[in-house]
Amino acid sequence: MKLLGVTLLVATCAVVESSRVLMVLPLGSRSHKNIMTPLASELGKRGHQVTVASLHEGPVNSTSLSYTDLAATQAWDTVRKVTGDYNVFKMRAQAGGGDKVNSAVMRKVLKHLPEYCDAFLRDPALQSAWVNKPDLILLPAFMNECGLALVYKFKVPFIYVTTSGLTPWTADLLGNPENPAYIPNQYLSYGSHMTLWQRTVNTLVRIVSPYLRERLVLNKLEGVVQQWLGNKSVSLSQVEKDVSLVLVNSHHSLGVGRPLMPNVVEVGAMHCRPAKPLQDKQLKNFLDKSTTPVIYFSLGSSIRSEQMPEEIKAILVRAFARLPYRVVWKLEGKRLPGLTSNVLTREWLPQQDILGHKNVKAFMTHGGLLSLQESVYHGVPMVGMPLMSDQHLNVRQAVTLGLALELTPETMTEDQLVQVLTDIVENPKYRDNVEERSMILADQETSPLDRAVYWSEYVLRHKGAKHLRSEAASMPMHQYLLLDVMAVITLSIVAILMTVYFIMKKITHIAMAYFKRTASHMLAMTLMHEKSN
């Protein structure tokens, strides 16, 4: 009887606690989805009905999903058709290399953003998402604002998830302090220690970027969303203001500390997990049996190293041949001619299982945030080859922390590559630094994934988190920056100084007049005195 009671109680709790969670990713690469899937799995295991709607089908080779995966494959076809060949190396060459590629990529994406959004909203694979009302929606914070259409339709609490740190406009949305004196903008690739000129540029970008984002992203998407919902008065910036909290894909142990509001929760590295045994027999042997250190080389889930210009590929092939190490390379297409037997290539690789392998001593990476987090988590020093977006900033940060060395693919030489890789593998300094960071990253009160689960359920329990909102979120800029207060203080000081000045002037005047009178009197007296003598 008692047992039955307990069972019933547990069952009731499970029913009460089971909620519908919808994760919407209208745009973004597979790696953006990879940030969300561990949370989706975990919430699914805890009895919630989780649906993930994105452009990409499930995680690679996973059969045991604890959530429903909706892949908008038609929208994905549209994205690929509209954007055309997405070759970051070509774009870098056209843009003149370096950091300039970011604005080129941004322009390309921004131009087509409304088309992407329209295709996503219309995709037949998402039909069930439009009829089953969720209790909570999770949405990536940037370029994915299209998903606010679902938030508006269902009028349910929603959480923003940032895929790369906290952006200025998301900070503003919650009134989170973001001082440009020491918090560099993601697209400027400055470190946290900036020169006067850098701080000036950083401050201007900090002030201007929220307006640019509103004009170039929100306003453009608004038309599409209005049309889809059949209501011309829907305002995305209004919908967005109701955000319950933000899960940020960063962690202070991987960078620098900064102030965060209670509704800004750092969950960086929540997708990191211990390595699993390798399934691929040949790969497993290649790693297990290696008597020399192994270097792992991958440019991430969306950049294909196959697209590298021939000269760069040739340099890599020759440099790898000279190294006394083994190399595992995520390389699509045919095996390159001249590639030596110490190099194993695969179209796709289980990155965390490789990074966690005891023989892997260096990671040659494009510096994507997830790769960087995984490398620190598994304690592997890096050679960063940043290509676009926040990769430059990520790599610079890793270099500053002594976890990595940086290379520019277009300008590196064979000797330089050999020397940098040898240095990273042989110099214990990098390994020590990365192991220290790894320990700091692991030393947390709660795990990032537990925090993400807790705060998602928190918003579910309280049907939002309005009580966490800071007054700063709704303050006009002049009040937030205390400009009005400074004006009052400045005016008061001026008034006091002027009053003092006039009083002093008056006193001086009276004193002078008195002195003149006295002086002339004394002079007359003296003269009289002299005369009488």
Ligand X SMILES: *[C@@H]1O[C@H](CO)[C@@H](O)[C@H](O)[C@H]1NC(C)=O
CB of 1 to ligand X, least distance (A): 49
Give me the least distance between CB of 147 and ligand X, in Å please: 17
CB 193 → ligand X: shortest distance, Å?
A: 42
> Which residues, 259 to 278, sit near ligand X by CB under 6 A?
none
Stretch that binds ligand X, among 217-225, 227-235, 320-328, 390-398 (CB under 6 A): 227-235
Across-strand partners of 457? none
- Under the binding rule (CB under 6 A), the answer on residue 280 touching ligand X is yes
- Which residues, 349 to 368, sit near ligand X by CB under 6 A? 350
Q: Which among 231-239, 253-261, 295-303, 472-480 is the span making contact with ligand X, rule CB under 6 A?
A: 231-239
Cβ burial 327-352 (10 Å sphere, 16+ → b, else e) = bbbbbeeeebeebeebbbbbeebbbb
Question: For residue 216, what is the DSSP state?
Answer: I
Residue 63 binds ligand X (CB under 6 A)? no
Q: Which is nearer to ligand X, 154 or 430 (CB)?
A: 154
Identity of the residue, 126 or 234, whose beta carbon is nearer to ligand X in the bound complex: 234
- Any alpha helices (H) in 301-447, and if so which ranges? 310-322, 351-355, 369-377, 391-400, 414-426, 428-442
Torsion of CA 271, 275, 276, 281, to 10 degrees: 120
At closest approach, how far in Å is the CB of 350 from ligand X? 6
- Specify the residue, 241 or 517, whose C-beta has the smaller distance to ligand X: 241
Q: How far is the CB of 355 from ligand X (least distance, A)?
A: 15
Residue 226 CB, nearest approach to ligand X (Å): 9
* Closer to ligand X by Cβ: residue 233 or 533: 233
Which of 94, 103, 128, 231 is in the footprint of ligand X by CB under 6 A?
231
Q: Applying CB under 6 A, does 62 fall inside the site for ligand X?
A: no
Cβ 412 to ligand X, closest distance in Å?
31
Number of neighbours of residue 188 by Cβ within 10 angstroms:
16
CB of 301 to ligand X, least distance (A): 13
- Rounded to whole angstroms, the Cα distance separating 319 from 416 reads 9
- In the complex, minimum distance from the CB of residue 351 to ligand X, in angstroms, rounded to a whole number: 11
Q: Is 155 left (phi over 0), alpha (psi -120 to 50) or beta?
A: left
User: Does residue number 291 form part of the binding site for ligand X (CB under 6 A)?
Assistant: no
Nearest approach, Cβ of 283 to ligand X (angstroms)?
8
Query: Of 375, 383, 384, 331, which is closest to residue 356 (Cα–Cα)?
Result: 375
Question: For residue 298, which amino acid is it?
Answer: S
The region of 50-58, 73-81, 213-221, 229-237 touching ligand X under the rule CB under 6 A is: 229-237
Q: Which two tokens stand for residue 115?
A: 């088309």
Number of other residues whose CB lies within 10 A of the CB of residue 447: 14
How far is 28 from 443, CA to CA, in rounded Å? 31
Q: By CB under 6 A, is residue 61 in contact with ligand X? A: yes
Which CB sits closer to ligand X, 234 or 425?
234
Task: Out of 234, 319, 403, 412, name the contact with ligand X by CB under 6 A.
Answer: 234
- Tell me: does residue 64 bind ligand X (CB under 6 A): no
Contacts 24+ apart (CB under 8 A), 255-259: 255/192, 255/397, 256/182, 256/192, 258/178, 258/182, 258/183, 259/176, 259/177
Q: Does 233 bind ligand X (CB under 6 A)?
A: yes
Work out how close the CB of 120 gets to ligand X at its nearest, in angstroms, rounded to a whole number.
21
Report DSSP state, residue 323.
-
CA angle 10, 14, 17 (to 5 degrees): 135
Helix, strand and coil percent figures for the chain, each rounded to 5: 55, 10, 35
Neighbours of 443 (CB within 10 A): 8
When asked if residue 282 is in the footprint of ligand X (CB under 6 A), the reply is: no
x/- map, 317-356, ligand X, by CB under 6 A: ---------------------------------x------
DSSP readout, 36-55? HHHHHHHHHHTT-EEEEEES
Q: Which is nearer to ligand X, 57 or 280 (CB)?
A: 280
List, in sequence order, every residue forming a beta bridge with 159; answer none if it has no partner: 138, 245
- Taking the least distance from each CB to ligand X, the nearer of 279 and 446 is 279
Q: Are 208 and 422 contacting, i.e. CB atoms less than 8 angstroms apart? A: no
For position 279 contacting ligand X by CB under 6 A, the verdict is yes
End-to-end CA distance of the chain: 134
Residues in binding contact with ligand X, number by CB under 6 A? 8
Q: Which residues bind ligand X (CB under 6 A)?
A: 60-61, 231, 233-234, 279-280, 350
